[in-house]
Chains A and B, each alone.
Chain A
Amino acid sequence: MSDPLGALEERKPFTFGELLVQPDGDEGWRVEPEGQSGEPREVAPDPELLRQLVRFDESGRYRPLSGARTLPRGWVVRAPDRHSLEAVLEAIYPLALVHLRQLREGKLRVVPLDEVLGRQSGRYAVARELSGEGRELVRRLLCGTCVRVPVWAGEEPAAEIPCPEACSVFVSFCREAALWERGEGAGGHDRSGEAAPEWADFEHPRNELRQAFLRLRGIVSARGAVR
């Protein structure tokens, strides 16, 4: 995998999260989801349009985590120059280029998880009570779905986008997980008649990440019964 910043300088193709970025003409760049087939729809290199485009996955579900590996496919953007390309990448993966540059320059401010959870207040204060095993499982499940590499957990990105600090979705997941470990809220009332839950609605009994955590942590059985 080529280093995105080096490839930018040398005008070489590179991958960036789920994107494939290739030189296009003398100064331009072509950006599209990697590995897509068929005739993609051309989208203007307008950051606001792109932000809207990647806000939902292909099933129409809201993507609150920009790095989630659920980028919709079927589109391509032609950025006329490097400035436009950087705005396109910023719209799809906020702060990713900034953090890559800071990492390369040794200036990336990395914040440990203890500090992030320790400073929470209000309804999120309980997140700091999540056990070490629970934190590790949240990291596996959530960061496993994300293109960013958690530098805050000691991982070292090869050429991927670094993540310097656990995000708000992570904190929110930790809050619920801490409550489940205490024996609160792991059952949940039957909401099977409702529409599919949002991706980050960890209070919903049918949320996939919640179900995976409860099962792998041994809080519920494979059949869904609270132990």
Chain B
Amino acid sequence: MKRGLLIVGHGSHLNPNSSAPVYEQAARVRARGAFDEVRVGFWKEEPSLARSLDAFEASDVTVVPLFISTGYFTEQVIPRELRLSGRVSRVDGRTVRYTEAIGAHPRLADVIVERALEAGASHEDALAVLGHGTPKNPNSERNVYRQSEYVAARKTFREVVTVFMDQEPNMREVLQLTRAPKVVIVPLFVADGWHVDETIPDELALDGACTRRDGRELRYARAVGTHPSIADVILAAAEEASQW
């Protein structure tokens, strides 16, 4: 039996870079050789979600959403477009397994820790997990808090806090919410795009990767979703789904 893996992302009609992490992670996962076929599908690019199963020769396909939030896209749009009926579906004669967003997976916490360490964090420092958040959808914060809890449970850093770009507690309060002299902010985003590269650094008035303020130090890491270890999270989620 051939096994396939479909990694799905949002994509964009306007931003040519937004799908890059999906292609990069797919290439990494493909190189591991655990699946006979590894393909990608997008809401706003090609191959479209609705047609992304068409090319599979595999009779057993696992779909992993490269999304941080569990919510509208992962619970409504993706299942609808792929014609899924539940966690395991039959679609056009194939078995299709559908995992949660990678943002819900406990292994993602390892990647957050790796990003923080790369940005210079040590045991004495505070880690701020920065999510998008939105007052419009209370579910969007859930995985951000969940990942903060996973990271805190590892006890790698002295403090772990959760902040958001678009809701409370807001990222602008990060120095008030922490006590350690050095605070490392890790953006829990899929891509190094407009938010991670522009909106967040602008709003926090960051001077690049390291900012000194009020006698303290703010470090800013790269987006979690572009880290090479995301491939491990995707594979872990897909491997669990193969047991269903």
Interface residues of A (CB under 8 A from B): 48, 51, 55-56, 62, 64-66, 90, 94-95, 98-99, 102, 109, 111, 116, 119, 121-122, 164-165, 167-169, 172, 198, 200-201
The answer to whether A121 touches B14, judged by C-beta atoms less than 8 angstroms apart, is no
Main secondary structure of the interface of A (DSSP, over half): loop
* Residue B193 lies at the interface, judged by CB distance under 8 Å to chain A: no
- Asked if A98 contacts B54 (CB within 8 A), the reply is yes
Of the listed stretches B45-53, B153-161, B197-205, B236-244, name the one at the interface; the rest are far from the partner chain. B45-53
Using Cβ atoms and an 8 Å threshold, which residues of chain B touch A62?
14-16
Q: Which residues of A contact B55 (CB under 8 A)?
A: 90, 95, 98
The answer to whether B12 has its CB under 8 Å from any CB of chain A is yes
Q: Is A172 a contact of B92 with CB atoms below 8 Å?
A: no
Q: Are A95 and B80 in contact (CB under 8 A)?
A: no
Query: Measured between C-beta atoms, what is the minimum distance from B56 to chain A in Å?
Result: 9
B46 near A167 (CB under 8 angstroms)?
A: yes
A-B contact count (CB 8 A): 60
Interface membership of B43, Cβ < 8 A: yes
Beyond the given pairs A168-B43, A198-B14, 12 more chain A to chain B contacts, judged by CB atoms under 8 angstroms and listed by A's residue number, are A62-B15, A64-B14, A65-B46, A90-B55, A94-B46, A95-B47, A98-B55, A109-B54, A121-B76, A165-B51, A172-B44, A198-B13
Contact B46 A55 (CB under 8 A): no
CA distance A64 to B12 in the complex (A): 8
> With A95-B46, A121-B76, A168-B43 known to touch, is A200 a contact of B14 (CB < 8 Å)?
yes
Closest Cβ of chain B: how far from A139's Cβ, in Å? Answer: 17
State the CA gap A65–B11 with chains docked (Å).
Answer: 12
Closest to B44 in A: A168
Q: Select from chain A the residue with minimum beta-carbon distance to B47.
A: A94
Chain A residue nearest in CB terms to B40: A94
Taking CB atoms, residues of chain B closer than 8 Å to A200 are 13-14
A48 to B26, CA, bound (A): 11
Given that A64-B12, A64-B13, A172-B13 are known contacts, is A119 also in contact with B80, CB under 8 Å in the complex? yes
Whether B23 is near chain A, meaning CB under 8 Å from some CB there, is: yes
**0/1 per residue, B173-217, Cβ < 8 Å to A?**
000000000000000000000000000000000000000000000
Kindly name the residue among A94, A98, A122, A201 whose own CB sees the greatest number of chain B CB atoms within 10 A: A94
A102–B54 touching, CB < 8 Å: yes
